[in-house]
Structure 1
């Protein structure tokens, strides 16, 4: 890679991964749209209550996938893939047991009331039972991308999402399956993605495969450390939703939660774009670090920052100009109160994206250069250490507007810390090597 045009490689990997991640994030967005149309505001509120568990499952898969893929890129040890699959099996059993036995108490714990409990528990049970496929899909996406096949990863993600959209429509409208249909369609999407990803094992260029080896605790810990920031990035979305749901429920009731559901699900798509940038860069950063090419590391960080800022500005402008139109897509009942809350929230909430994107980028950079400690610090600060107290303080002072302002205030504080950590590790990129 040292002799190749790093900008062209960056554009290829990042663009393919952004497209794929947008497609992957559309799983929940499709559910949001079709549930809004077919079930109504109560279904929308129930979906928003259940989403944190989906984020946790997705995050667990990314933690194993990103952690394993980073270590695989740095060492090319075949046993890493096998250890990742062992790890995924353990996590899958835990999620399955939760889905089969604890979906109702879990729904109550997440904030479901008598009105939303049935829909929430139905959605959770199906999603948790499909957790093994979600996790395995994320692992294979990461390994296939790092094995010089980002195009197949993108195709698999898009195919899974497209199937979800089609099945959502079929299950909710012609078949009338409601929340069960939405969850079942989402659960089937990683299965279709896995079928496409499996083609990589038949290619001659494939460099990873299952090996005969024992489960090693040391490898599991190593994978967890390298992928921990990816887990926290996803988990933080779930934690924020849980905390905000509780606060909004007390301030504006289920209509407020439904309005936040619209904002949260659109936010997941934007976060997926930022995640797509960082994941697309990861194999390039890890390879440059392995080759001790600081010149490329500096350029990759620069390209990632510019890309993130451009997308943030475009997204915010769209939220200012078209907030009412966006909200109307998810407001099938034409509820004026829901529309008013969601439009106002969208325009305040989206001010955070420039800071969110850079924090995710710096986080991924530290993980990719084998410095998981700094990535974990940034992830935990933005995931729950800072955002939870800020949410309670601002909501008590400014009500709903305080809730919407929380993400921006938190991410600004974390960005200052991120830049400080990056400055302390400036030796990674300041000693140029051509």
Structure 2
């Protein structure tokens, strides 16, 4: 138990950095991978194909949400049990979670495959983008269970005291995906099908890297004989629900913006949003990395009833989020045009829409990081109701309300401002809740 015992002996700052750096590096590499994916598709296949891939992205996000729902919930319970020295129960939690994630995502993917066409149009496809959406979705639906297993296993490996291997796995996945994207798009000319296949094959290699953890001396993860435990399942899905809702919120965010912009600005608006969404993925991954770093720590300290280390971790995390958000806002404000230009030589109309979108949307990052940190905190200590509110409000309830109210008043700028205003409202509710309960 040497790696986990370090959580109780080394300084909080050192522990935070030891988990933060691998999480951030891994997540940012995945974000860069996602962006390079868009750059290659946009430059090789053009803005319509890029829009098609962007429309299909909610399918990937829903699969990821399923793995996070069960994975983060179960991993939080795993760390709490490890902190409380209940090792056998922790191993049952791990075994049940992996089997549930595999089975549920396989069934959902195969079922949705038969309804691919109506699903594509429901996500915002039109006659121009449907062929690209359909081909991309076909691969994701058929093999999506691969990256759900990779993501869930990565969460458990990180919670088992090996954040560095989780980082190496993400690095491997990202670099292999970039290489395969180039081969499939530029050498084999497989179009968006090749882009989707590269994602799946890279995830397979990521799983193989994560499996190395089972051969280390510090490994506590074990597949054990285990019957279905309804109580553990319910606790896992309740605790993991805010994380699931966060990923579903990304799908709602993408779908709502695609549909709104399709009616306001047509295919140009959807293409501009696709560029913004790729850029947004970088900061989103950074904040997810921050959350992934503190989740094992807060869960373990809470299970061990070590309130002092729990509070110190949160103070460091909040200041880190504020600094990262402020820097990102300044980058978006000053470098919007060169950022957009990375994705291709777009017509002037699309370029103008995307540049304005980046400058207005990046206001959200001043508040988003703190909201992510607080959601993870409430989730890890069992205040699931508040964690659920944060995720539901940010990208579903409050955002949809602003998307209905702002565009009639401010046109397309109202679309770009929906998320920043949502983040401000959510942060205000967090402040009020925390003052009342803590």
For normalisation by structure 1, the TM-score amounts to 0.95
SS at match of 2:428: helix
Is this contact kept in 2: 1:55–1:234, CA < 8 A?
yes
Structure 1: gaps of 5 or more residues: 427-434
- Bigger mean CA offset, 172-181 vs 230-239: 230-239
In the TM superposition, what whole-angstrom CA distance separates every residue of 1:187-215 from its partner, at most 9, and x where no partner exists?
11211100100011112321111111122
1:6 corresponds to which residue? 12
1:149-164 to structure 2, matched below 5 A, reads 149-164=162-177
2:404 is aligned to 392
Mapped to 2, the partners of 1:214 and 1:27 lie a distance apart of 39
CA distance in 2, matches of 1:190, 1:422: 39
Distance 1:380 1:88, change over 3 A: same
Aligned to 2:67: 61
Structure 2 residues without counterparts, runs of 5 or longer: 1-6, 82-86
User: 1:229·1:376 contact (CA, 8 Å) conserved in 2?
Assistant: yes
Tell me by how many angstroms 1:292 deviates. Answer: 2.1
**Runs of 4+ residues over 3 Å off in structure 1:** none
In 2, Cα distance between equivalents of 1:29 and 1:305: 27
The yes-or-no answer on 1:290 pairing with 2:290 is no
Deviation at 1:45, TM superposition (A): 0.9
User: What corresponds to 2:380 in structure 1?
Assistant: 368
Question: Where does 1:43-62 land on structure 2 (aligned, <5 Å)?
Answer: 43-62=49-68
In the alignment, the residues of structure 2 paired with residue 187 and residue 152 of structure 1 have an alpha-carbon distance, to the nearest angstrom, of 20
2:3 maps to what in 1? none
Matches within 5 A, 1:71-150: 71-75=77-81, 76=87, 77=89, 78-150=91-163
CA distance in 2 between counterparts of 1:320 and 1:225 reads 39
Q: Give the distance between the partners of 1:278 and 1:25, measured in 2 at CA.
A: 15
1:42 aligns with 2:55: no
Kept after mapping to 1: 8 A contact 2:276/2:354: yes
Partner of 1:199 in structure 2? Answer: 212
Indicate the larger mover: 250-259 or 124-133. 124-133
**Contact 1:24 1:161 survives alignment (8 Å):** yes
8 Å contact from structure 1 (residues 331, 339) kept in 2: no
**Is this contact kept in 2: 1:108–1:117, CA < 8 A?**
yes
How far apart in 1 are the matches of 2:425 and 2:24?
A: 27
8 Å CA contact 2:258, 2:270 repeated in 1: yes
Shift of 1:99: 4.9
Instruction: Please identify, of 375-384 and 301-310, the stretch whose mean Cα deviation from structure 2 is larger.
Output: 375-384
SS state of the match for residue 9, structure 2?
coil
Q: How many residues align?
A: 425
Q: Distance in 2 between matches of 1:11 and 1:241?
A: 32
Equivalent residues of 1:95, 1:129 under 8 A apart: no
Tell me if structure 2 keeps the 8 A contact 1:277–1:304. yes
Equivalent residue number for residue 4 of structure 2:
none
Quick one: which of 328, 341, 348 aligns to 2:360?
Answer: 348
Per-residue CA deviations over 1:285-321 (Å, capped at 9, x if unaligned) read 1122122222212211111111111111111111122
Q: Equivalents in 1 of 2:405, 2:282: separation in Å?
A: 27
Match of 1:432 in 2: none
CA contact (8 A) 1:36 1:330 kept: yes
Equivalents in 2 of 1:225, 1:354: separation in Å? 29
TM-score (norm 2): 0.94
CA distance in 1, matches of 2:229, 2:142: 26
Match of 1:357 among 369, 375, 388: 369
> 2: distance between equivalents of 1:413 and 1:401?
18
CA distance, structure 1, for counterparts of residue 429 and residue 103 of structure 2: 35
CA contact (8 A) 1:92 1:131 kept: yes
- Whether the 8 Å CA contact 2:70–2:101 is kept in 1: the answer is yes
Closer/same/farther in 2, CA of residues 15 and 69 from structure 1, 3 Å limit: same
Q: Alpha-carbon deviation of 1:324? A: 0.8
Question: By how many angstroms is 1:398 displaced?
Answer: 0.8
Whole-angstrom CA distance in 2 between matches of 1:274 and 1:183: 25
SS in 1 for 2:161: coil
1:5, distance to aligned residue in structure 2 (A): 0.5
